[in-house]
Amino acid sequence: MTATKGLEGIVAATSSISSIVDGVLTYRGINIDELAEKATFEEVAYLLWHGKLPTRKELDELIAQLGEYAAVSPEVIAGLRLYPKNANSMAALRTVVSSLALYDEEAQDMSREANLRKAVKLQAQLPTVVAAFARIRQGLEPVAPKKGVGVAHNFLYMLTGEEPDPVAVKALDKALVLHADHELNASTFASRVTVATLSDIYSGVTSAIGTLKGPLHGGANEAVMVMLDEIKTLDNVEPYIQNKLNNKEKIMGFGHRVYKNGDPRAKHLQQMSRQLSELKGDSTLYEISVKIEELVTGQKGLKPNVDFYSASCYTLLGIPRDLFTPIFAISRVSGWTAHILEQLDDNRLIRPRAEYVGPVGQHYVPIEQRG
């Protein structure tokens, strides 16, 4: 047996949910460009769960279900009030999602029908708990979710307590579409490993959130915003980036293990960043981002990934930096749960081997003889 570092290039599962072939990302065979331009996030979630786009009746039923399930139990909100105000937002989300299982009477029901209902519940409740956590730490009361509106609209409403601008809703909705699934990425793989033991769907999503928390996965967009904050002005871009390049430091938001010719999602987020800049009447972040892209791509040949322009988009939407990765989770829970359902439909315990490289021929030495 020979190890492959990072499992790069290893095919670990078959899946009909999403694919990346020759740099083209599809959900259930539909190009991400089509979905980003034409579909709502609710349509995409239905597509991931059911393998087809919903009819008008099916879409209306899903939106009604999401509205019905969006409220969380008072005990969950009470738990959020006990978290430290400076708690890491992804650590808080990981903890609260685990606690949601305690208040779901179907938590241990492993039937496909119950798991599908739990997938919808998780999709409905993640925006609620992220918004509630954000408000509680500011000393504000959580805002109850609305019924009859989409996930993006509801999240922005619960976060601010005000009706969001339609341009902002459309921008966030598109971001949710773009982040919904991405083949067998690290967090999706973690969720499938967990439920392959026949653990429950909440455990699978909790594992995924813990994996997404890392800066080499979901946390990358937050790291991009840290860089933009440090640069501050357009004049500082070139010296800042050149110093990073000269010192061979990693520039977050560029390059991707799977995409060699650029992340197909990035262009949509760049367009959104520009549109939101126009809405806000301030193009500073967008112009800084474009200049960074020109320098990094020009000198290193690396192109921006999905994290790069999502950072400026979320900031222009007025979203605090440490909520960027939780928003990623709000979207990706649709993909995680689709993969969990698929894993359980034809389950086999995921248990790879390791190439042993330690000492051999060792023997136990009595403690008195150890040096």
291 burial level (CB within 10 Å; 0-12, 13-18, 19+): middle
pLDDT in the model for residue 261: 80
| Residue 368, in any domain of the structure | no
Does 257 have pLDDT greater than 80? no
Beta strands in 252-301 (DSSP E): none
Q: Could you give the CA distance from residue 303 to residue 186 in angstroms, rounded to a whole number?
A: 21
- 333 near 126, Cβ under 8 Å? yes
- The reply to whether 102 and 159 lie within a common domain is yes
Residue 262 pLDDT grade (very low, low, confident, very high; cuts 50, 70, 90): confident
pLDDT in the model for residue 93: 98
Mean pLDDT of 13-22: 95
- The reply to whether 203 and 329 lie within a common domain is yes
Residue 307 pLDDT grade (very low, low, confident, very high; cuts 50, 70, 90): confident
pLDDT tens figures, 280-302: 999 999 999 999 999 999 999 99
Q: Taking the CA atoms of 204, 206, 210 and 213 in sequence, report the sign of the dihedral they define.
A: positive
- Sequence-distant (6+) residues with CB within 8 A of 371 are none
Q: Is 20 helix (H, G, I), strand (E, B) or coil?
A: strand
Q: Give me the torsion for CA of 69, 306, 201, 149, rounded to 10°.
A: 10
Residue 271 pLDDT grade (very low, low, confident, very high; cuts 50, 70, 90): very high
- The reply to whether 187 and 309 lie within a common domain is no
Does 1 have pLDDT greater than 90? no
> 56-60, 138-142, 264-268: which has the minimum mean pLDDT?
264-268
- 210 near 314, Cβ under 8 Å? no
Sheet holding 24-27, edge to edge: 18-21, 24-27, 30-31
CA distances (Å), origin 320, targets 252, 263, 370? 18, 25, 55
pLDDT in the model for residue 219: 82
DSSP 146: P
Q: Could you give the CA distance from residue 57 to residue 308 in angstroms, rounded to a whole number?
A: 37
- The reply to whether 331 and 205 lie within a common domain is yes
pLDDT tens figures, 151-160: 999 999 999 9
Residue 55 pLDDT grade (very low, low, confident, very high; cuts 50, 70, 90): very high
| Residue 359, in any domain of the structure | no
- 325 near 218, Cβ under 8 Å? yes
Structural domains in the chain (count): 2
pLDDT in the model for residue 109: 97
pLDDT in the model for residue 359: 97
Mean pLDDT of 151-175: 96
The one catalytic residue in 182, 256, 268, 339 is 256
pLDDT tens figures, 245-255: 999 998 989 98
Predicted structure pTM score? 0.93
Mean pLDDT of 135-151: 97
pLDDT in the model for residue 357: 94
- 90 near 326, Cβ under 8 Å? yes
| Residue 126, in any domain of the structure | yes
- The reply to whether 24 and 130 lie within a common domain is yes
Has 153 been annotated as catalytic?
A: no
Q: Could you give the CA distance from residue 289 to residue 277 in angstroms, rounded to a whole number?
A: 12
- The reply to whether 137 and 253 lie within a common domain is no
- The reply to whether 333 and 252 lie within a common domain is no
Does 165 have pLDDT greater than 90? yes
Half-sphere exposure (CA, 13 Å, Cβ side) for 365?
Answer: 7
Does 220 have pLDDT greater than 90? no
Closest by Cα among 3, 6, 32, 4 to 17: 32
Mean pLDDT, all residues of the chain: 95
Does 206 have pLDDT greater than 90? yes
Does 66 have pLDDT greater than 80? yes
pLDDT tens figures, 69-113: 999 999 999 999 999 999 999 999 999 999 999 999 999 999 999
Has 256 been annotated as catalytic?
A: yes
- Sequence-distant (6+) residues with CB within 8 A of 5 are none
pLDDT in the model for residue 242: 95
- The reply to whether 242 and 179 lie within a common domain is no
| Residue 353, in any domain of the structure | no
The one catalytic residue in 182, 307, 322, 339 is 307
Token pair belonging to 289: 């981002």
Closest by Cα among 246, 325, 231, 240 to 287: 231
Does 260 have pLDDT greater than 80? no
DSSP 116: H
| Residue 358, in any domain of the structure | no
pLDDT in the model for residue 244: 93
Mean pLDDT of 310-335: 95
Does 256 have pLDDT greater than 90? no
| Residue 132, in any domain of the structure | yes
CATH label of the domain that carries residue 224? 1.10.230.10
- The reply to whether 154 and 259 lie within a common domain is no
- The reply to whether 208 and 246 lie within a common domain is no
| Residue 7, in any domain of the structure | no
Dihedrals phi, psi of 223, to nearest 5 degrees: -65, -35
- The reply to whether 190 and 237 lie within a common domain is no
Percent of the chain with pLDDT over 90: 89
Mean pLDDT of 327-334: 97
| Residue 370, in any domain of the structure | no
- The reply to whether 165 and 279 lie within a common domain is no
Q: Residue 176 is part of which domain span?
A: 15-214+323-345
- 83 near 59, Cβ under 8 Å? no
CATH label of the domain that carries residue 112? 1.10.580.10
